[in-house]
Amino acid sequence: MFDHVDVDAGTQVPAGGIHEAESAEVAVRREVVEETGLDSTRIVRKLGEAWNRSEPGNVPPGFEEQILHVFHLALDRPSPLDEWEWEEKSGTDTVEHRFAFRWVSLDEAARVLWPHQAMWISSVRLSLRNHG
């Protein structure tokens, strides 16, 4: 999970948009690399989809209503750090966001994540039991 370094935007997990002609599966891996720097993830399984509505002004115009595609991901190799900072550049040289990441327990994640992200914790637990 992460917090923005320069703004108070709440504790979150990586998320993002799907590009034109891009599958949700390709998008989630691209977004994880862009937002975290972790390039050794694999999809364990898709947990589901949900509709989300954001208040105008909290997201770019036209993105107020979205379908969220939620995945359980795993690392192919252990993370070298327990905490790290990452500058999201989205394929350019310009820093768009600065994030401070940390690994946490699912119990802590359930307490601190935004509700539309925390609601998936029980699905992650079930996926871990059934898919390791």
What mean pLDDT comes out for the span 78-106? 91
Residue 55 burial (10 A CB sphere; 0-12, 13-18, 19+): exposed
Residue 80: per-residue pLDDT = 85
pLDDT at residue 132 greater than cutoff 80: no
Residue 66 burial (10 A CB sphere; 0-12, 13-18, 19+): middle
Sign (positive or negative) of CA dihedral 114, 3, 99, 121: negative
2-131: CATH number: 3.90.79.10
In the chain, what are the domain boundaries?
Answer: 2-131
Query: What angle (nearest 5°) sits at the alpha carbon of residue 20, between those of residues 19 and 24?
Result: 55
Q: Could you report the per-residue pLDDT of 34-52, keeping only the tens digit for each? A: 999 999 999 999 999 999 8
Q: Could you report the per-residue pLDDT of 12-24, keeping only the tens digit for each? A: 999 888 999 999 9
